Structure 1
Amino acid sequence: MTADTLGTGPLDRAKLFAARLHAVRARPFMATALFALHVVESRRVPTMAVDRQWRCYVSPAFVARTPVEELAGVWVHEVSHLLRDHHGRGDRFARERGLTGRAERLRMNIAADCEINDDAFGDGLLRPEGAVTPELLRLPGGRLMEDYLRRFGLGPLTQSVAWLDCGSGADGLEREWDLGPDGAHGLSPQERDAVRFRVAQGITARPGNTPKGWRRWAEEAFHPPQPWRELLGAAVRSATSGAGAGEDYTYGRPSRRSAGLPGVVLPSLRRKPPRVAVIIDTSGSVGDDELGSALLEVAAISRAVGGRRDLVSVLPCDAAAQLVHPLCREAGIPLVGGGGTDLRTGFAKVLRTGPRPDVVVVLTDGQTPWPDSRPPCRTVVGLFDRRRTRSWDEGDPDYVPDSPPAWARVVTIGSGSAAR
């Protein structure tokens, strides 16, 4: 048996690049990204791994023992981490929750793999051996990395994938084999953005049988974070993290003060994930562009509360409140309306539909009467930029709607400045 047979010889680049060509044929919309990766031979990498600068570190032994068809699936898997910015998202998740250590980064890698692998294979692309899927963790498919991270911990179900290491491009933690930002053959931030844009452009131009997760990603890639979206997200996070939001008393964990009162059990204050209700103005004064923007803001709101789509509900409303839709529904949310505007009915609907929200977000052009009193929860108003809308009232060009009440946090959607 030769050294090459044992996988201790040089990297078989012909086999590796044949696998990449197979991946391009199976997923032509990824061609730009796949060819943008620069291969670096490394014997310290378990299989294949990527870094932030779009280098792909490859184990010669892994290539030697893996069939071309499976290697093609690994190519697609690794570049998917970079396209979906798992390293940046992992960094943000870790900062927000104070997570440190390799164990937490392993969880991020597993969660990122679940996001990719639930619909990555088939249609000419073979699933690699040992690929992590949501089913392995007994979790539903179609979720984001952040959502999966909240649903599992390291334990018996993850023991079989403890070896997993897709590199810093998957979880944000630098490895000893990384060449770093100053190393050779890395892509600049501008080049990375250009690659993502080209891939998204290829998906939206000819969606064909592109998996639903990738179509959703491409839509978001064409609408990158804007100043007003960051302001809206910050306003929602501030409202959901304030004192009283998402708090309740429980006897499941007695208060420490009970020790000073023999025979008396006092409840403790428990922090619950906050619930957010989004009221979308669907009146006749709101155009299709505003409604499209509203759906993008709903996605931003979901991210602001950590990707927990099950905690976000949406209510289309004009002069009458429609049905309350949970955001975790697979089907689209119908934005029914087109009449006059009275969002007070929307407030009444979401507040009496259990469980009651901790935060209400209203997306509107402002042509509505507002509740006379402060609701029993925090309120954030996303106001469509009035400079971009039509006349307030075609029958009365001098009409100017009332400003949102002082008890609401207001963010102007479509403008990089206004917020209060």
Structure 2
Amino acid sequence: MTANTITLDFDKLYAARLHAVSARPYLATALYALHIVESPTAPTMGVDKYWRCYVSPRFVDCTPVEELASILVHEVSHLLREHHARSDHYAHVHDLTGPGERLRMNIAADAEINDDAFGDGLVQPAGAVLPSTLGLTPGQLMEDYLGQFSLGWQTQDMAWLDCGSGADGSDREWEWGPDGADGLSEQQRAGVRFLVAQGIVGRPGDAPQGWRRWANEALHPSQPWRDLLGAALRAAASAPGVGEDYTYRRPARRSAALPGIVLPSLRRTPPKVSVVIDTSGSVSDDELGSALLEVAAITRAVGGRRDLVTVYSCDAAARIAHPLCQAEGMMLVGGGGTDLRTGFTKALRTRPDVLVALTDGQTPWPSQQPACRTVVGLFRRERQWRHDDPDYIPDNPPEWARVVEIG
């Protein structure tokens, strides 16, 4: 049988899907939501953001069922973790264009997924990209890896990699696009992610740490304050003198008037953000967990640039500053009384563009307005009180701070 006469072996592919569901039952909803599309022009197997999975009949014919199961889990992981949207956002923030950069995003997304994807019933496919393949530390996100490697000798054997637009946001000729049949709507895609996240949180012992982290973030309700913070970040980034730098990646338009001379264009980088987290005894563990999830959201708002976000844990004294890492690896120290003025003082020494305070509000506030934009996230309270002072009424946040409730 020649390549031109091979048709997709759906029975083999469905057997692979059943194997994948048996090995990863918490991903069953997502695996069955994928719509399989026979695509002779697809290199191997790839997905678009509408949850269509394009499969090469020849690839299925020459790949064992066990390996196909692992690849199905891999592809659906791209969609659950919304790598298409994250890649587009990263490209926009960092001014990246071209197929080479999209390949790099696909590689970084694969490294995030494959870090803990295999074993326990799933074999590792041939050529799977791991963090160790790139000489990088495991347990990080796609955005982290993108800042740590470039295309070169370590990636020369990965040029074939193509998981579709669902992995890197760049449309392929063999994809059906938004007007094609059998795609999931935005609401349906959100519903699938919600059900999978619920399944993981319900049985946390069955899922690796990366999936547990993803599920907690997926189930964390969208807070209005994130929109407020995003507006503050955009305003800070557009202020005169903030994040200004010159680049030759995109020549200035004035170059057209000067033949033979290439002028750099002015670009703006994301702003620096300092986050002060209230770790006093009046703040619960659940609220501290919520604070760490909000810190992860702030990181995404600045394009995954961990070097631009610094976190301070603060009760009556400002503790060690943490350049942002993965939220689950951050230690918050405290438990005493509250005085965020010390946290503000220490945070402002780094001259951030935006300062974010996450607190229950039971604290004295700085008397002077900081030189940067300030956002205060207040943990919601039905009633503010103290054991030693039943009549205690906390001071309201100052008028110069943008305030919104969290939780």
TM bracket, shorter-chain basis: 0.7 to 0.9
- Displacement of 1:326 in angstroms is 3.8
Native 8 Å contact 1:234 1:304 kept in 2: no
Aligned pair in 2 of structure 1 residues 149, 83: CA closer, same or farther (>3 Å)? same
Q: 2:387 matched to 1:390?
A: no
- Displacement of 1:331 in angstroms is 5.9
- Displacement of 1:385 in angstroms is 6.0
C-alpha distance in structure 2 between counterparts of 1:367 and 1:330, whole Å:
24
- Displacement of 1:135 in angstroms is 2.2
Structure 2 segments unaligned to the other structure (5+ residues): 247-265
Q: 2:405 matched to 1:413?
A: yes
Match of 1:365 among 339, 357, 360: 360
- Displacement of 1:357 in angstroms is 4.9
Q: 2:283 matched to 1:283?
A: no
What pairs with 1:170-185 in structure 2 (closer than 5 Å)?
170-185=167-182
Give the letter for the 1:367 counterpart. Q
Q: 2:61 matched to 1:60?
A: no
Q: 2:297 matched to 1:300?
A: yes
1:121 corresponds to which residue?
118
Aligned pair in 2 of structure 1 residues 56, 248: CA closer, same or farther (>3 Å)? closer
C-alpha distance in structure 2 between counterparts of 1:289 and 1:39, whole Å:
41
C-alpha distance in structure 1 between counterparts of 2:208 and 2:236, whole Å:
35
Give the letter for the 1:93 counterpart. Y
C-alpha distance in structure 1 between counterparts of 2:231 and 2:195, whole Å:
30
Aligned pair in 2 of structure 1 residues 228, 360: CA closer, same or farther (>3 Å)? closer
Aligned pair in 2 of structure 1 residues 158, 87: CA closer, same or farther (>3 Å)? same
Give the letter for the 1:159 counterpart. Q
- Displacement of 1:338 in angstroms is 4.1
Give the letter for the 2:273 counterpart. V
What pairs with 1:81-92 in structure 2 (closer than 5 Å)?
81-92=78-89
Partner-residue secondary structure (3-state), 2:404? strand
- Displacement of 1:168 in angstroms is 1.5
Native 8 Å contact 2:84 2:165 kept in 1: yes
Native 8 Å contact 2:140 2:326 kept in 1: no
1:23 corresponds to which residue?
20
Give the letter for the 2:319 counterpart. Q
Aligned pair in 2 of structure 1 residues 360, 288: CA closer, same or farther (>3 Å)? same
Aligned pair in 2 of structure 1 residues 17, 248: CA closer, same or farther (>3 Å)? closer
Match of 1:318 among 291, 300, 315: 315
Native 8 Å contact 2:232 2:373 kept in 1: no
Between 269-278 and 109-118, the greater mean CA deviation after superposition? 269-278
1:309 corresponds to which residue?
306
Give the letter for the 1:76 counterpart. V
Could you tell me the TM-score, scaled by structure 2's length? 0.84
- Displacement of 1:8 in angstroms is 4.6
Partner-residue secondary structure (3-state), 2:59? helix
- Displacement of 1:53 in angstroms is 1.3
2:196 corresponds to which residue?
199
Native 8 Å contact 1:47 1:58 kept in 2: yes
Native 8 Å contact 1:322 1:336 kept in 2: yes
Structure 1 segments unaligned to the other structure (5+ residues): 250-268, 416-420
C-alpha distance in structure 2 between counterparts of 1:77 and 1:383, whole Å:
37
Aligned pair in 2 of structure 1 residues 290, 240: CA closer, same or farther (>3 Å)? farther
Native 8 Å contact 1:73 1:121 kept in 2: yes
C-alpha distance in structure 1 between counterparts of 2:366 and 2:229, whole Å:
21
- Displacement of 1:236 in angstroms is 3.4
C-alpha distance in structure 2 between counterparts of 1:224 and 1:142, whole Å:
24
Partner-residue secondary structure (3-state), 2:318? coil
C-alpha distance in structure 2 between counterparts of 1:65 and 1:371, whole Å:
67
2:160 corresponds to which residue?
163
Aligned pair count reads 387
C-alpha distance in structure 1 between counterparts of 2:4 and 2:195, whole Å:
36
Match of 1:399 among 389, 393, 400: 393
2:375 corresponds to which residue?
381
- Displacement of 1:330 in angstroms is 7.8
- Displacement of 1:356 in angstroms is 6.3
Aligned pair in 2 of structure 1 residues 172, 312: CA closer, same or farther (>3 Å)? same
- Displacement of 1:230 in angstroms is 2.2
Partner-residue secondary structure (3-state), 1:294? helix
Partner-residue secondary structure (3-state), 1:323? strand
